[in-house]
Structure formats: C-alpha cells, structure tokens
Structure 1
C-alpha cells in the first residue's frame, strides 16, 4: 500500500510563518536598538568629562625635564582624549633642540603616553667658567653647566665654529666604547692638517687628524694593547699609526744603553787585567 502524504493546508502554515517573521523582526529590532544605544553611549562619553585626559605619561626623557615636555606638548586635563592631534604634539615637542623625535599614543579610558628620543650629548665646549653641551647634530645648547657630566669629552681651543661642529660630528660617529675613553680634545694649529690632541682617560696622549678621526680611532684599544704599560709618549693616529716615546723616556733609554756599554767596557778591562796577572 502506498503511504499517504501529510498535506498541510495554507491556513495551518500561516500562523507558523507569522511567528517566524515576528522572531526575525524582533532579532533585527534588538540589534538596531543595541547599536543605537551604543552610539548614544559613545556620544555621551565624548561629550562628558569622562573622555578628558586624566593621565599624561612621559617616557625616554633624560636631560629634558618631564615637566618641560608636558608644557611643550600643550596637553592638559581640559583636552578631550580623542581630540588630541598627535602630529601637532609631535611637531611641538621637536621644537626643543634636544628632542630628536617623539611618539604620542592614546589609550582608553583617558591616558596619553609621550615617548621622546633625545639627541646625544657628544661633547662639551669650555666657555669662560662654564661648559656648553654639544649635541650629535653639532648644535651648541644655550644652557650652561658648571661641570661636564663625564658622559662626553671636553673640547678646547676651537676658535672656528665649523671646526667645532666637524669635531662633534666625528665624535658622534664613534662607538660609545671608544668615545667614553676620551677625556679632552684640544685643537692643534697646523698648516697642512686639521689636527687635534686627545687626552685619554687611561693616561695616554693621542695626536690625530680630524679628517680620518672617526675612521681611525676605533683601532685605539688594539694599539694600546701592544704598548708597554709603563711606556709614555704620544700615539699618532692618522694616515699612518705609530708611537712616539716622550723625551724623558727616550733619555732614560739612552742612559740605560750608556750604562750598559760602560759596564761592558769595565768588564772587558777587568778580564784583561786578570789575564795579565795570570801570565805574570
């Protein structure tokens, strides 16, 4: 026997269709209402004091004061967090001579983080009874310090600003392990070469050409390693590299050689006397 098919009339299906459509409409309505309330909440948050800047964090500062960075940024607690123009703040911070770059980030609920990258101080120049820091770009800061911080060498005797900036640029190219060994740099007048005399923290003196300074100075530790620890003199670093003993040391060497020759002559005379005595 054939199975009878269940036939559902249209009248019976209409209530089911209406119910499905109603559930679909309800879901859509809930979704639209949720989005609407979220938008209303965002608008209320943006218009209320809740969205104002509550915390300003500053990172990366060393020489520049944190309060100075805050003032330069122009950001206050009256500013809306999301209305802070990060590019404008960055440009304002980079007007400071010691700030090389800056990054500004905003984070919920109300925090602005400023991270600065400062220019390195590569040297100090002596001016009267104080010292002016020189930055890696060659600019000399207006503010003075009574004593250099020991983080960079002191430049002395540079009468031309162009030579001063060139020397600062050469030092900035040195590895920190080398630049930290230099205590003072003195300009040396020379018609043929732009020379500088360096006084090193380990007690040695170096006479170098500014033209090859950044290229040749990294070899300094290997040169010193080959010298006698008691040797004193001048290390020449330029087109050629050699060690020139001081006059005192060379004089001592000559005296020692003379003493040795005199002792050898005395010993020869003594041996001759002994031979003559034995023959008699």
Structure 2
C-alpha cells in the first residue's frame, strides 16, 4: 500500500487563514463595487448627466429641425433613458409634412431623428396667396407674402378641391425634368366631367390633358416638343389621342 503523506494541522492553519482572508476580501470588493455602482446610478439620474446631450435631425428640407423637435415633445432636461422612441415617432408622424420617421439612441445621450418628407408637388394660388400642395394631397398653410413659388407648378382657378388629391398624386409620378417645365395648371371650366386640365408650359406651349392619365401622357412631352422644333408653338392635346395645333392669332398665351 502507498503511504499517504500526512500534513500536520499546524501547517494547514496558515493556508486556511489566507484562503479565508482572500474570500473575505473578494466579497468586500463585490459589495463595495455594487455600493458605488448604485451611488453612480443615483447621481446619474439626479444630475444633468442623464439629460439629452445632442439631437440630430436628418432628411428634412421643408420643415425646420426646431419644428420637428417641438412636435416630438422632447423637452429640455429630459432624461435620456426615459425617452420613448415610439412616442417620439408617433408625435412627429402627426405632422402633415412627414411621411415617415425613425428615432435612434446612441452614445453619449445622442438622439437621432431621421424623417422622410412628402414632396411639394405644386402651389395652390388663392387670393394672391400660395399654399404648398404635398404629394399626399394635403394643402399646407400659405407661404409668406414675399414668397415666390419655385421648382413646382402653380395650380390656379381650381374650384373643385376634390380633384386636388388625384392631381397631386399624378404630379408626384412625374420626372423632375418634366415637372419643372410646367408653369401653371388650370381646370378646364368648359369640360363637363371636371377631369380635364389645361397646362401652361415654361417653353410657350399649352397642353390639354386629363388628370386620370396625366403623368403617363406627360412623359412623352419632351420628345413631342423636340419633334415640333423651336419655331412652332401651339396647343398639344395629350388626352385620349395626341395631336398638335398651332396657335391662332388670339390663342397664344400672354408673356
């Protein structure tokens, strides 16, 4: 039989004391760490350290950062951890100009708001005021007195407001190259169905069409004008069939 080495109890006592001391020290370090962690958490929530430090808004062109932040109901000295992404998104999403919104949180207390706006496709002219018309068909508050509409056609003499929404949706489908060549859009008052429109173009032509298939027909406009040449001006009918008629003596639009 193998002889087991017998360690006297006197030799084991110092080692046991050391192990107990190490275990006590580890336990003390854990308790102290938890204590200081709790203190730090308490100080964080009770001080300005927990406030939102930075708010970044991206994707907006027509509505200001301040208006979006205000709509999100993000108040000064709001605790960063208490902010609800969903609540902010729902609040900002109520703005008529906003199509979609996404909110993200990042280090350090940085709130990022990314929005997508409805495009302005036209300006409704009423009583010398210009009301932006969005692609959704929504009509916004009038622009300032010194404002002049650019990069979008003017909708004038538009008595049937029910046709604004389908008109806006058709305008939203146009390429920018075609949309920027439209100066004014009028409802044809002589038409019985209320679907006919008259367009005054920036290059001197008049186009007659219908709202129902307006965008599809208007994409042909550049090639038609190119075939006519620079010296022939008149009315281009782009309704059921497409044909051109030169202006008579009193038909040309006034400059």
Higher relative contact order structure (alpha carbons within 8 Å, sequence separation ≥ 6): 2
Indicate conservation of the 8 Å contact 2:187/2:194, yes or no. Answer: no
Q: Shift of residue 105 of structure 1?
A: 2.8
Between the aligned partners of 1:170 and 1:106, the Cα distance in structure 2 is 37
After superposition, give the CA deviation of every residue in 1:45-65 in whole Å (9 maximum; x if it has no partner): 123221122333333332223
Between the aligned partners of 2:139 and 2:133, the Cα distance in structure 1 is 5
Q: Which residue of 2 aligns with 1:141?
A: 140
Between the aligned partners of 1:154 and 1:200, the Cα distance in structure 2 is 11
Between the aligned partners of 1:79 and 1:71, the Cα distance in structure 2 is 13
Between the aligned partners of 1:98 and 1:7, the Cα distance in structure 2 is 87
Distance 1:27 1:221, change over 3 A: farther
Q: Which residue of 2 aligns with 1:62?
A: 61
Q: Which residue of 2 aligns with 1:241?
A: 242
Q: Shift of residue 74 of structure 1?
A: 2.2
Distance 1:186 1:18, change over 3 A: same
Comparing 224-233 and 30-39, the one that deviates more: 30-39
After superposition, give the CA deviation of every residue in 1:94-132 in whole Å (9 maximum; x if it has no partner): 232222233333333333333332221111111111111
Comparing 120-129 and 54-63, the one that deviates more: 54-63
Q: Shift of residue 90 of structure 1?
A: 2.1
Alignment of 1:102-113 (within 5 A): 102-113=101-112
Q: Which residue of 2 aligns with 1:153?
A: 153
Structure 2 gaps of 5+ residues are 250-255
Comparing 154-163 and 5-14, the one that deviates more: 5-14
Indicate conservation of the 8 Å contact 1:133/1:141, yes or no. Answer: yes
Larger helix proportion of the pair: 1
Q: Which residue of 2 aligns with 1:183?
A: 183
State TM-score, norm by structure 1.
0.74
1:169 aligns with 2:169: yes
- Indicate the RMSD between aligned Cα atoms, in angstroms: 2.9
Comparing 17-26 and 196-205, the one that deviates more: 17-26
Indicate conservation of the 8 Å contact 1:73/1:92, yes or no. Answer: yes
Q: Shift of residue 200 of structure 1?
A: 1.7
Distance 1:20 1:141, change over 3 A: same
Alignment of 1:1-280 (within 5 A): 7=5, 9=7, 30=29, 33-146=32-145, 147-188=147-188, 189-191=190-192, 194-247=195-248
Q: Which has the larger radius of gyration?
A: 1
Indicate conservation of the 8 Å contact 1:124/1:148, yes or no. Answer: no
Between the aligned partners of 2:143 and 2:23, the Cα distance in structure 1 is 75
Distance 1:207 1:10, change over 3 A: farther
Indicate conservation of the 8 Å contact 2:100/2:117, yes or no. Answer: yes
**How many residues are treated as equivalent by the alignment?**
245
Indicate conservation of the 8 Å contact 1:136/1:169, yes or no. Answer: yes
